[in-house]
Structure 1
Amino acid sequence: MMAGRYQTAFKLYPYKKVAAQASGKIVRHPVVIVGGGPVGMTLALDLCQRGTPVLVLDDHDGVGLGSRAICFARRTLEIADRLGFGAALLDKGVRWEVGKVFYGADKVFEFNLSPEAGFKAPAFINLQQPYFEKFAVEQIRKEQAEGAPIEIRGCNEVVSVEDRGDYVRLCVDTPDGEYELEADWLIACDGARSPVREMLGLSFDGRVFEDNFLIADVMMKADFPPERWFWFEPAFEGAGQSALLHKQPDDIWRIDFQLGWDIDRKAELEPAKIRARVDAMLGPDAQYDLEWTSIYTFQCRRMEKFRHGSVLFAGDSAHQVSPFGARGANSGVQDAENLAWKLDLVVKGLAPQSLLDSYGEEREHGADENILNSTRATDFLTPKSDMSKIFRNAVLELAGKYAFARTMVNSGRLSVPCVYDGLSLNGDDELEGPHISRVGASCPDAPYDGAFLLDAFNGDFTLLAINAEVPELVEVDGICVNSIRIEKPDDALAVRYLGSQKSAVYLIRPDQHICARWPVYNEAKVRAALNHACGRE
């Protein structure tokens, strides 16, 4: 693997010896997060902004190697915006809405992921994962400067985990030797090979697909538009069964080649062989430098349960999907957002520990949805029989002429927010309102008051009242509910929240998912729905 500039960039939390190492005293922490990737840092930032003390342990002193995740979806951008670093992502990232699908040398069709206006965030940006982590850590540093209860310890590798029922004991290795600490709650955000999961002897089950994909990140000047280009059976020599081209910041372009199963990995990673493939795609006169290369296989796996007593798993440590569809990092950030508010309430004694079971319920549901979509994409990319391939190619040929066939083409169903339809925290849905804002869905953005609706949410429970009267502030057993009252809503907001109704009242969770909705305000129903959403019945 070639690392390029990522090998030494962004060392944001260099190792420092802490007092507990010298004293030998075992310190108990309310929340310890293992892993400083996008999921761990998003969760840590969310918790500290809520006032819950959090310690992050990472075995490196900064962001990891390689671009890895490169596509961040609208929901992830909205979460980052609420946490304070969304603008940095948008400033650095490459915005894109359009994708094009090719079969051989011919373009079959193109699609627009955001045909409707009225959203603050674009459908996607392309941005190398190290930048996402960098901007998250920079926001954490700002929070620290203002007194937020958060600490990051670099070069602190967790080498043993002992679950003691109502707390966890960890042994941590550092350049100065080992020390021990304890956690009321341990969150494992330590990746697909999760050492925490292995130390606890927990399974990670699923399917490994018999195929290999070559990543080549190249630096070049090119006039290609910022779009997602995907080829089935590309015409250029050596590309394999499929190829993908994506623009990233800093004149970096991500190229993926599908190589098949029976390959010599070492030989395929030889720079000369990689250059031959890239030259065939871009043309022999293309000028570029290889920045980072790797070979990966598709895996669709997850843990049976994401909560194990005082230990919870999030991101790739809990579930893994293929990268086509951008469902890995994006679903992991949604894990973090789902867990943060629930864990915060539990730590503060405002909700029972059983509320954390709903984290498992909802995000296991999300993982199943992502695995289903990812598996279908992989089966379409790599037909498992001659008949499947005949069917796949017929669909591609028809898609060039007929719109109905385009919905059957699967080059990776791109990440969308998970909807918690029918799950246990959902409350009343007494409004015959739009499907997009049904109970269990995340709030769709819309123009509001010269800005955007999601800008008005502050991470607390919120009552959204449209053409309806609600109190300015409701308190339910220590939990405050803020209110947003809107009269004469913008057309987009009315379409997304009212539909054909004249008025509406929504109760929105801290993670901006809708937990109940009614045509008018009813105090008893709001209180019941909030207590239900907090597991306090």
Structure 2
Amino acid sequence: MSKVFEVPLYPYRRSADQDAATPVRHPVVVVGAGPVGLALAIDLALQDVPVVVLDENDKVSWGSRAICFAKRPLEILDRLGCGDPMVDKGVVWNLGKVYFDERQVFGFNLLPEQGHKRPAFINLQQYYLEQFLVERVRQLQAEGKPVELRGGNKVLDVKQDAAGAELTVGTPEGPYQLEADWVVACDGAASPIRTLLGLDFTGRVFEDNFLIADVVMEAKFPTERWFWFDPPFNRGQSALLHKQPDNVWRIDFQLGWDIDRDAELKPENIDRRLRAMLGDEISYELEWSSIYTFQCRRMDRFREGRVVFAGDSAHQVSPFGARGANSGLQDTDNLAWKLKLILDGKSPVTFIDSYDLERVHGADENILNSSRSTDFITPKSEISRIFRDAVLDLSERYEATRPMVNSGRLSVPCTYDGSPLNGPDCDRMPQRTRPGSPMVDAPVPGGWLLDQLGSRFYLLTIDQDAPDRIKVEGVTAKRLALSLVDDADSYLAQRYLGEAGSAVYLVRPDQHVAARWDHFDETAVKMALLTAIGR
């Protein structure tokens, strides 16, 4: 059994700020050292933005919690320098199966095409991700990057004005004050920062409960996602099985709404459910258990003055679909470069509103998909159940009904259609790489496309001449020149050219497409770059 979550990784140490005569001011203070807060801190530090992370805890989360990490967040973690340990430790999977009663009604492949560095998903306990992120922070500190992680530091109060915020921070040695140009609340679904500011969620709480059981056992199940509707071992409900590293298996049991939570969490009752599913012959050890209720909610806005919200503090979705931690990492991916430009004086303060607009769009997309999944998994009327069961029956024989089966629409990257940061488009190119969309990886000379696009603006040219750099208002787009002369049928051509013979892409620091053309036009590129930085 893994004991990673029992080891203090960032114990309390007195900081110089606690002895200062007046509150010390920092450009960015991140509240919360979970995956979202740590990822944001790493992203900022890599761009030389000084950042302090405050967390009342001193170790990684207890229990596996988030376990499914999708391709796009893995690509984000690659940019942050944490992708390899994630994939090396994680359980890679692309296949899923759906069962109705005891019958498999269909299977699916989440990454049916080749030419990608990362798989569709890996399964990895959240405490490992947090450990890798803390280790990356330590590595950056050793390199002299401006990042500090303070355990045992709990935010007690927040006051703000138009120029920044003042925090009162509690420690084992008493409280102190510090100031920040920007505060980013990554402090989870119960977000004390949100409460201190008198803010709340709006949305739906679904009348159902699920039991999570992380079980350590030797089992011969394949490395796939298995989901059951109305299985013999949990009649009238559903169940889910996932494999994690260290022979840990995540098992979810739907319980219904009117339950005794304390009774359901008793070891003997969990054992009864596990034995009904696994049989009496399997030996197992229960590592962690919890009960959760489906919630699909978000804040009305993700910015309140100089305080910005990211991850679970800003939005919540039901776990089926793996849209929680994955969307939180996409929040930080969107936010870090915008804070960098604002702090450097290259974008106006109002540029932060584009984070709110784009990530509210992402949250609404996740909430819509998660709500639909929940309605299908837990029908609330007899008519809904009859319809759901008919779809499952038909899906075994008729391919046309399979898209209607919804055991959790799994996380996909968000495209910011309609964003005010988007520039011109070329309709001769593939839809999947239109403005607002994340760049799609592809093999290129020397490795992989996304590995050559760091945390800055790039001008990707494919068989087009252009200057090595384009610069406006102090912001530079560096050229990445590629050619398809000898490989016209490559993945790069399929994903970026379409019917065009050549291409020019302006790429944002978060690896989303800002604009694209089938030829180079310096004036058009400069105008698109100005648009992308909120100018």
Shorter chain as normaliser: what TM range?
over 0.9
Cα RMSD (Å):
1.2
Structure 2 Cα separation of the partners of residues 88 and 161 of structure 1: 36
Residues 99 and 111, structure 1, Cα contact 8 Å, conserved in 2? yes
- Out of 445, 455, 460, the position equivalent to 1:459 is 455
Matched with 2:435 is 439
Superposed counterparts of 1:56-135, under 5 Å: 56-135=53-132
- Out of 223, 228, 243, the position equivalent to 1:226 is 223
Which consecutive aligned stretches of 4+ in structure 1 deviate over 4 angstroms post-superposition?
none
Name which of structure 1's ranges 455-464 and 23-32 shifts more when overlaid on structure 2: 23-32
Superposed counterparts of 1:175-186, under 5 Å: 175-186=172-183
Structure 2 Cα separation of the partners of residues 368 and 250 of structure 1: 35
Structure 2 Cα separation of the partners of residues 82 and 18 of structure 1: 30
Structure 1 position 477, deviation (Å): 1.9
Structure 2 Cα separation of the partners of residues 279 and 100 of structure 1: 22
Structure 1 position 464, deviation (Å): 0.8
Residues 5 and 127, structure 2, Cα contact 8 Å, conserved in 1? no
Structure 2 Cα separation of the partners of residues 356 and 62 of structure 1: 31
Superposed counterparts of 1:15-30, under 5 Å: 15-30=12-27
Structure 1 position 325, deviation (Å): 0.1
Structure 1 Cα separation of the partners of residues 451 and 16 of structure 2: 40
- Out of 424, 431, 437, the position equivalent to 1:428 is 424
Matched with 2:291 is 295
C-alpha offsets along residues 35-58 of structure 1, whole Å, 9 cap, x if unaligned? 001110111000010011000001
- Out of 355, 360, 364, the position equivalent to 1:364 is 360
Superposed counterparts of 1:311-390, under 5 Å: 311-390=307-386
Using the size of structure 2 for normalisation, the TM-score is 0.98
Identity of aligned residues (%): 59
Amino acid at match of 1:124: F
Residues 59 and 156, structure 1, Cα contact 8 Å, conserved in 2? yes
Aligned pair count reads 532
Structure 1 position 500, deviation (Å): 1.7
Structure 2 Cα separation of the partners of residues 13 and 525 of structure 1: 48
Residues 311 and 331, structure 2, Cα contact 8 Å, conserved in 1? yes
SS class of match (2:88): helix
Residues 461 and 481, structure 1, Cα contact 8 Å, conserved in 2? yes
- Structure 1 residues 447 and 470: CA distance shift in structure 2, 3 A: same
Structure 2 Cα separation of the partners of residues 329 and 396 of structure 1: 29
SS class of match (2:308): strand
Superposed counterparts of 1:497-516, under 5 Å: 497-516=496-515
Structure 1 position 4, deviation (Å): 7.6
The reply on whether 1:43 has 2:30 as its aligned counterpart is: no
Residues 217 and 253, structure 1, Cα contact 8 Å, conserved in 2? yes
Matched with 1:530 is 529
Using the size of structure 1 for normalisation, the TM-score is 0.98
Residues 2 and 246, structure 2, Cα contact 8 Å, conserved in 1? no
Structure 2 Cα separation of the partners of residues 146 and 203 of structure 1: 39
Residues 239 and 257, structure 1, Cα contact 8 Å, conserved in 2? no
Residues 212 and 295, structure 1, Cα contact 8 Å, conserved in 2? yes
Structure 1 position 23, deviation (Å): 3.8
Structure 1 Cα separation of the partners of residues 477 and 455 of structure 2: 10
Structure 1 position 19, deviation (Å): 2.0
Residues 161 and 305, structure 2, Cα contact 8 Å, conserved in 1? no
Structure 1 Cα separation of the partners of residues 276 and 21 of structure 2: 60
Structure 1 Cα separation of the partners of residues 6 and 472 of structure 2: 49
C-alpha offsets along residues 169-206 of structure 1, whole Å, 9 cap, x if unaligned? 11111111111111110000000000000000012111
Amino acid at match of 2:6: T
Structure 2 Cα separation of the partners of residues 184 and 241 of structure 1: 49
Superposed counterparts of 1:231-246, under 5 Å: 231-236=228-233, 238=234, 241-246=237-242
Structure 1 Cα separation of the partners of residues 462 and 421 of structure 2: 23
Name which of structure 1's ranges 410-419 and 481-490 shifts more when overlaid on structure 2: 481-490
SS class of match (1:68): coil
- Structure 1 residues 84 and 45: CA distance shift in structure 2, 3 A: same
Residues 47 and 53, structure 1, Cα contact 8 Å, conserved in 2? yes
Unaligned runs of 5+ in 2: none
